A and B are shown apart, each in its own frame.
Chain A
Amino acid sequence: MGELDDIAKEFVTESRENLDRLDQDFVDLENNPQDKERLASIFRAVHTVKGTCGFLGFSKLELVAHAGENLLSKLRDGSLSLSGDMTNALLATVDAIREMLNIIDATGNDGDRDYPELRATLAGLQEGKGNIAQAPCVSAPVAKTPEDKASSLITPDWDPFAELEEAKSQAQQKQLEAEQKTPEPAPIQTSAPVVLAKPISEHPVSAETKTATPVTDTSIRVDVDLLDKLMNLVGELVLTRNQVVQFGGQFEDSSLSSALQRLSLITTDLQEGVMKTRMQPVGNAWSKFPRVVRDLALSCNKQIRLEMFGKETELDKSLIEAIRDPLTHMVRNAVDHGIETPEKRRQLGKPEEGTLTLRAYHEGGHVIIEISDDGAGIDKDKVILKAMEKNIISVSDARTMSDRDAINLLFMPGFSTAEKVTNVSGRGVGMDVVKTNIEKIGGAVDINNRPGHGSTFKVTIPLTLAIVPALIITSQDEKYAVPQMSLVELVRLDGKQVKTSVEMVGGAPVYRLRGKLLPLVCLRDVLSGGKGLQITERTKGSDLNIVVLQANDRQFGLVVDQVRDSQEIVVKPLGHLLHDLSIYAGVTILGDGKVALILDTAELAVIAGIDSKGNGHAHEGERINNSESSEEVHQLLVCTLADGGRVAIPLSLVTRLEKLDQSSIERTGNKHVVQYRNEIMPLIDVASALSESAHKSYFDTQNAEKTLVDVVVYTLRNQNVGLVVKSILDIVESSLSVQGKSSREGVVSTVALHDHVVEVLDINRLLRKADETTSVSQVN
């Protein structure tokens, strides 16, 4: 790096910030050409650059800025109105200034070029000559893309504007080729396709605490390295505090205890404060997107509107740097591959303008960023075909592959479905790098595909890298930590309860927790390499400790040897050697100084086959929320009836499954009820309610075999109703594609499920019918 004095360095940094804002400003201005405020602020920004660089002696930069300022001045005073050509030229000016700033940063002077063509264009536009041959889009060397690590450095000969002045068609093609990375001040090392942490270290004067526009003086620029150091120290402090508190807890000294308490509180506050210093709005990573989308859409001849929600959602600065490139790639994908051309959209009856939505929000200790488009979605078959062509999967794999897995093939290395590889969004190194980089920071990326309607890429990022509250459990005399975030509740079963409440469904143990079926995972078994389905001998018959965890909307119970206490732990990464072990989310040092591994809840679920991320299912347990399933698939509760038939009830309508004691069923008049949860719940015998003829009600037959009655509880407007069936079979997912007509009143349709014909119930009709029937039927 050349020698830059402090003033120049400040200038470069501040100007860069201003330029970033300008990208967004110009795009907004294009949509609202009458926005005088914005125009004025743009003018001021360029004016400031011009003024300062003149003072610092960067004459070429001054020339360029001056040309831009002149045009802006005319726009500001109203003698010209903004045209597309002008916007392009002004954006090109911003790019030129940016490039020169980079050269200044690297060499200390403003380089050799003074952009005569650009200045000529700007001058021409000022005169009202708006038709200097330009392609309708500007090849913007915006945010780095994960691909293109080889030919990344823009050579001094590259001139975007000479190319623009060629014929339109040529310009368009050239522009695609010229799509390259932003030049970096230091030579890019080809060590990693996406240079993540680099931006932080390359700008020693870089980081800032979040400030308002440079009017107020209530903020200071702080070096990111210093903040990192503070974070580490605070982390160590927390650990040491844990040790001290643990040790001090042995002494019955009140002044010691109160001092320890105070120490604890202060440490927590300090930790929160330091974390806050590093938090920045995720909008920082999005700042370039309006420009990117605009330029890309123009070059692809598409009309796309970008909407961004949740810009203020805060995230640690290092994470923001890390997701910048992956997000950019996904945005470009959506524009390039996702959203259709206006003609196609018109044909499909969609509005010609496609919508790309970015949404960020906090959820349970994570930041979620969603990139949604209303385009064509991902063609699953195309993906499978491509994967087979590239030998990523075999033909037999392709046949048995689930929809979800097929879509996830996109993340395999060497994949690209683009017919022709464009420089716009990648040559097949794209999505797998995106996924890897997101996972590197502890995050995850998921796709929700709606064929014909678009797709949503959901990126989940852990909110804090450092300190989390955790529950300490033991398995085989070793301690492990479970993040409290995933913890729902703790259940302890004594030997007897184990026998009655733990059942086997489909070869896997489940526990009936207040009517809901909770799949169980035995930690001991998992750590020995199993799938967690063996509740091992030692725990069988004796007390069972179940830690109920939640991963991706699925709940399951982790069976452990012992539950210890709760501690605040500092999450340390596993390190290169062990980071493949996905069952561990990290490692920590406990209060007693011992190292403990932190379990990864999501991975536990996958190992046990609970989460459908893995291939196939071990469990067909009840799922609490099925927010991940696409719209086509319905979850049905299948039951048998006394008359031998089968019925299905949409699971979404079911509140609980109960086994009620027959003796608790009472009769009032013609109806049967039971005292349930502090209310009197009416019971309907589904079989007799459905039957046309006067069928003998279940209640009236003496059922010697079992004293427990299977009841499906359905809640309507706060009123519980119990549907009595013979037995509850299973939960099945079905697309309800093969349907027959309704067989009788109370039934919506008939469906084939697992080789049986099942009647899908229409609960409301059924209830109404039951009312009529019971009032008419004879009393036996």
Chain B
Amino acid sequence: MESNITDDTKQFCTFYLEDLFFGIEVSQVQEVLRYQEMTAVPLAPSVVKGLINLRGQIVPAIDLRRRLNFAPHATNKLPMNVVVNMNSEAISLLVDHIGDVFNVDNQIFEEPPETLSGPAREVIVGAYKLPDKLMLVLDVKKLLGVLDGRTDVAYH
């Protein structure tokens, strides 16, 4: 794996959700960790699975499967956490499986594929066409903003 980040490449933290492969720019990711115990929040929107105690920091966990309209995982496997950071507030995304961190060449960046539809499309800014698969780039701001339900008051 290359470790030099040039202007032409970006570094992404990746994960799997159902049969999709996502990447978030590392600058937006605080950390990734395995399943953490959560406290449910009654009356919260259903995508909010609960709150996590992250070394004293209280982080809401968003059920990304639900957010993207996927059914709950067939085997009830415990999700993993991708903790993203926006404006010094942390939010954890619950994903199926964590992938590697690696660099991608900007040249292979493309618009979101035609075949992708539904909620996923709203939160993708584009995709990188990797040799063996497509990495969908997640726009965290959009993901959280739409989540809020008040796009105008969202993070700024």
Contact = CB atoms under 8 A, between A and B. Distances in A.
Nearest to A577: B60
Interface stretch (A57-65, A588-596, A613-621): A588-596
Contacts of A578: 41, 44, 48, 60
A596 B40 CA distance: 9
B42 A594 contact: no
B58 A576 contact: no
B111 interface: no
A442 B40 CA distance: 23
Nearest to A524: B42
B89 A589 contact: no
Given A527-B42, A575-B60, A594-B39, A587 B89 contact: no
B22 to A, nearest CB: 20
Nearest to A239: B56
A527 B89 contact: no
Nearest to B155: A576
A589 B60 contact: no
Contacts of B58: 572, 575, 587, 589, 595
Nearest to A594: B39
Given A575-B58, A577-B91, A595-B58, A587 B51 contact: yes
B37 to A, nearest CB: 7
A362 B43 CA distance: 33
A593 B41 contact: no
A617 B155 CA distance: 37
B41 A581 contact: yes
A576 B58 CA distance: 12
Contacts of A478: 39-40
The B contact surface, by secondary structure, is: mixed
B13 interface: no
A191 interface: yes
B7 to A, nearest CB: 30
B101 to A, nearest CB: 26
A432 B38 CA distance: 36
Nearest to A588: B58
A575 B89 contact: yes
A349 interface: no
Contact of A597 (B39, B52, B91, B147): B39
Nearest to A582: B43
B53 A594 contact: yes
Contact of A581 (B37, B39, B40, B44): B44
Find the residue from B41, B44, B52 having the highest chain A CB count within 10 A.
B41
A343 interface: no
B77 interface: no
A236 B53 CA distance: 13
B148 interface: yes
Nearest to B153: A576
Contacts of B42: 527-528
A103 B147 CA distance: 44
Interface residues of B, number: 23
B52 A595 contact: yes
A546 interface: no
A529 B155 CA distance: 28
Interface in B28-77: 37-44, 48, 50-53, 56, 58, 60
Interface in A222-263: 236, 239
B142 to A, nearest CB: 15
Interface in B128-147: 144, 147
Contacts of A236: 56
B56 A577 contact: no
Given A191-B156, A239-B56, A587-B51, A577 B148 contact: yes
A577 B87 CA distance: 12
Contacts of B40: 478
Contacts of B155: 576
Given A576-B148, A589-B58, A581 B43 contact: yes
Contact of B53 (A191, A575, A581, A593): A593
Find the residue from B40, B43, B52, B89 having the highest chain A CB count within 10 A.
B43
Nearest to B37: A594
B53 A595 contact: yes
A575 B88 CA distance: 11
Contact of B56 (A528, A529, A589, A597): A589
A576 B148 CA distance: 9
Contacts of A527: 42-43
Interface string A504-531: 0000000000000000000000011100
A439 to B, nearest CB: 14
A649 interface: no
A693 to B, nearest CB: 61
Interface in B100-136: none
B43 A577 contact: no
B81 to A, nearest CB: 14
A583 interface: yes
A596 B51 CA distance: 9
A723 B63 CA distance: 62
A597 B43 CA distance: 12
Interface string A543-562: 00000000000000000000
A584 B155 CA distance: 21
A584 B39 CA distance: 14
B80 to A, nearest CB: 19
B84 to A, nearest CB: 12
B53 A589 contact: yes
Nearest to B90: A575
B39 A595 contact: yes
Contacts of A577: 48, 60, 89, 91, 144, 147-148
Contacts of B41: 578, 581, 584, 597
Nearest to A236: B56
Contacts of A191: 156
Nearest to B156: A191
B41 to A, nearest CB: 6
Find the residue from A239, A576, A587, A589 having the highest chain B CB count within 10 A.
A576
A78 B148 CA distance: 66
Find the residue from A578, A583, A594 having the highest chain B CB count within 10 A.
A578
Contacts of B156: 191
B5 to A, nearest CB: 30
Contacts of A528: 42
Given A581-B41, A581-B44, 13 more contacts: A575-B60, A576-B155, A577-B147, A577-B148, A578-B44, A578-B60, A587-B51, A589-B56, A594-B53, A595-B51, A595-B53, A597-B39, A597-B51
23 contacts: A236-B56, A478-B39, A529-B43, A575-B89, A576-B89, A576-B155, A577-B91, A577-B147, A578-B41, A578-B48, A581-B41, A584-B41, A587-B51, A587-B58, A589-B56, A589-B58, A593-B53, A594-B39, A594-B53, A595-B39, A595-B51, A595-B53, A597-B51
Interface of B: 37-44, 48, 50-53, 56, 58, 60, 89, 91, 144, 147-148, 155-156
**Which are the 6 A-B pairs with shortest beta-carbon distances?**
A527-B42, A595-B39, A595-B51, A577-B60, A595-B53, A587-B58
